Structure 1
Amino acid sequence: MEKHIKQEMGKIIPFIQDGTYYFTKGLSFYRRRDLHKAKKYLQRAVHLEPKQAIFLCQLAIVLGELGEYQASNELLLNIVENIDEDMNECFYFIANNYAHLGLFREAMKYAELYMEREPDGEFVEHTEDLLEILTIEQEDEDEQWFDSDDILMKQEQARLLLEKGEFTEAIALLNEMVERYPEHWSAYNNLALAHFYKGEVKKAKALIHYILQHNPGNLHALCNQVVFSYYLHEEQQLVQLLQTLQKVHPMSFEHRYKLGVTFALVGRYDLAFKWLRQLYKAGFDGDAPFYYWFAYAAYHMGYRSLAETMWKKLVSIHPDKKGSEPWLYRERTIQHIQSLLSGNNTAQIFYGLYLMSKSLQKSEWPIEGQKWSHSLLRQFVDYLMGSDLNTLPRYISDGYAIVDLLAQKNDFQHEDLYVTWFFLYQKALTEQCPLTNHSAWAAAVEYVWRKEKGERATQQQMAEKYAVSPATLRKYGRIVKKIWQ
């Protein structure tokens, strides 16, 4: 009681704090991004002056940012229906809330209403961005008419074929789907992935181009473009695509998931962590890939405890993942690289350098103090370090590109294959063999390597895998066998 009164000249004067006082306090906390305290003070302001539209609107904004979208919209609709019908900015905030609730048709209706009433308003640019996103979301929502038992069954069959690496069969099934449903964009995206995994890069890129031409802004296609550029080392295009994706703010859980996983896959753990944590905090019921990538993103962003929690969830789904935690994998990888680099086998040192370039940040590279007498090794290190690339011979980048292609096509398995390549690489340079046809060399090396191991491998399979003709494979296969011996 004492803090609510003032004493002056022996009189007791009430110190009444009106709505404006609490509104100002709430606004101050809002600007400091302390949303919970802002909500508390704004609620007090509204309680004291329930007809003050500005107070109600600011409280609605805070509720929206706290994820209380329905409560926010109730306040906003109350303003335009009962208090101030000309407060048109409410329509923008209503649209934004509906979008976050996944009610895209409602969101679009109110966004368009705002544009109609306030063509030069304060939130026009934001509303245009929202409408663009809603168009993408709406197109995905419109695909729900594909959800018949037949198409869902075929989608599941195609997914399983892709997971098992049976790309030819997956392509046949997906081609059947897109022929029957020519605007079923998810089938097109999976078809593009199947061609890419099979090594048919041109076909994969053409499909993505077709999707984006007929369904502009398709988020899955944009994400697949990023993955393609990442694996193909198209650095300039990758940077441009990532800049585009950073500006995307999807509303649906599915799109946020796709965005987060894509960022994680290409090593942008900061952006991956942003989206995946947002999903987790929103109560998203994740699957195994979600927990896998969230754990990786959390670990790389320094949230070890959270990463461990996510990995436990992953192990509860896939017990076989126990022991392959990102922090354990990293420690083992560093130790393995150090053992490769400290050995006497030149081919293994080459592979250790390649593995180092793919697994560690440059600041972590264990090459300080290494004194290799082999000139080719020194040139390879200069290439990895990015030292004056214009002065390095072309065969250095060729050697890296070929092992990279082998690794990509085999999901970075088969270490012996990559060491074998570096053994052959040195001999090929001695024989002055041109190395510019990366796909042909990779296909021939893997084919001969598998045959030497006694595995069943056909020239047709390898030719399809690396997108070369059987005749080209035979030609380079003869070269590989010759230098192998």
Structure 2
Amino acid sequence: MIERTSENNVVNGNVIPVTLDANFFFERAVRSLDRFQYDKALKNFRKAVEYEPENPVNHCNMAGILSEMGKYEDSNDILTHVLDEIDPTMTECHFYMANNYANMENFEEAERSLVTYLQEDASGEFLAESEELMELLQYELNRPAPLVRIRSREGVVEHDRARSLLEEGKFPQAVKLLEEIVQNIPDFLAAHNNLALAYFYMGRFAKAKECLGEVLKQDPGNLHALCNMAIFLQYAGDQDQLAGLVRMLEATVPFHQEHVFKMATTMGILGKHQTAYGHFRRLLKDEEVGGDAGLYHYCAAAASNSGLHTEAIRCWQMASRLDPESAVPKFFLSQMQLAQSEGRPLPPVSYNYQLPFQEQLKQWKNNTDSFTEEVQNNPLLRASFFWALRYGDASTKLQVTEALRWIEDDEISDVLKGVSEQEPLQEAALLSLQRLIGGSPEESVVQRAVQEPVVSSHKGPPEWKEDWQRIIDHMAAVMDRRLDAAQKRDAELLWKQFIARLYPDVPLFRHAEGWCAALEYLTAKLHGHPVTYREAAQHYGVSVSMVSRYARRIHQACGLMQDGAAADILPPFTENI
């Protein structure tokens, strides 16, 4: 018979001390948890808190049990008490609270707590779990989280922003941000590499090489820096240094997917197409990226430029099957077959996954002389224009006829005369012919930019809904002081074209201000006005990421061809983490 007292046990006259402290009740709570006895576990954790009220771990254990029992509000009350009264540095409490809020379907508060955790936690203990929760919240809220930085991965968020700026062609902004990163984190080599690229794109070649020198000083085998240096040396015409570096790169077999792609694209730029082909072939065997039509085009371009015509045809055929809507593989297959029937090689093929004339259309308005010379001297480019006039959709034909009006060429004039007999291209072709003899009529920017003409066979919604009109009205009111009547008209035209493209699967537009900002941004770009996502976002009080995402959705749905950031993407040379 064992007689128990509050402080000790007595067995046969022998005293066995039992210390009733926080550890005693903690162990009992753990045993109860192992048996899924949550009520008993909670009772014992409460006793542990009574013995050590200033120990935040005891409180967090109690909050964890309450969360397991579905009492999320009670759990968050305890976690808030820990942060406010006991230990404000216990940042994991914010992560626990984010999970509780998510379970309560209070996604806004869950996002706030998760962002706070990522921005304040130095250890990154729950970083992987946070990424999963972030994906869930982005899906539920239909927008990315307003995350400025991740403290445990110092500089990573800022670096991602800088890479986006580079890809949008906003080089001064990217340089400013990257300079801050490398100053604060000198061993962040990816930021050094991308800063070198930003300097290079701005024409500051000495600074670009200086950045790469810093990277290679810290890591002599850094593949991104070596590839970038090779491109810089080729641009500078330094063949002596370039030859040795290229020999070393050709003998290198990268392992990581990103490094393989970097090497492949670099070899293509340097004209080492057979080496590029070998690396692209390796990427095609990677299950993660091997089903990408663009990658098959890169491989086909490398094969064609290497004289491996059978392999090029096979890759373009695969690209056509993977992306049946794209005209790119169909065009190059037709040109390859024509070249083979005439017993001649295909002219050099660009690695960009687009028709040759699409690359030039982005530049022709700013430099018509260079555009004219390129069309006259590049047979593949010239063929792509004629091919687009024959096989392209209505909007492509409209874009091509407008561009070709700048080329004073008998063959092109004959082609435009033939096109002028087609509907609905008659007006555009006649306008182009009029330009050749001195005319300069005007037309809507949106009519030129959207893939189909405004008057088209595309069936839109049978009735215009009030929610859709509200976005037009709100946008017109906000943009009243910045854009003129023609630009407002084009913004409304673009919105109606967007709705027509989505119909009948038009979603509920929950964030009207975001759609308004995206429309104003795209309209300004179409009219050649300098504008940034941030400026458009500030006008409507929304996030930059929301404007960017909505603008890209409109851009993709309507197929805009423009000179703005929504259409221009730099070659894939920037470095990830």
TM-score normalised to the size of structure 1? 0.37
Q: Please identify the structure whose Cα radius of gyration is greater.
A: 2
Q: Going by fraction, where is helix more abundant, 1 or 2?
A: 1
Which is bigger in relative contact order (C-alpha 8 A, separation at least 6)? 2
TM-score normalised to the size of structure 2? 0.31
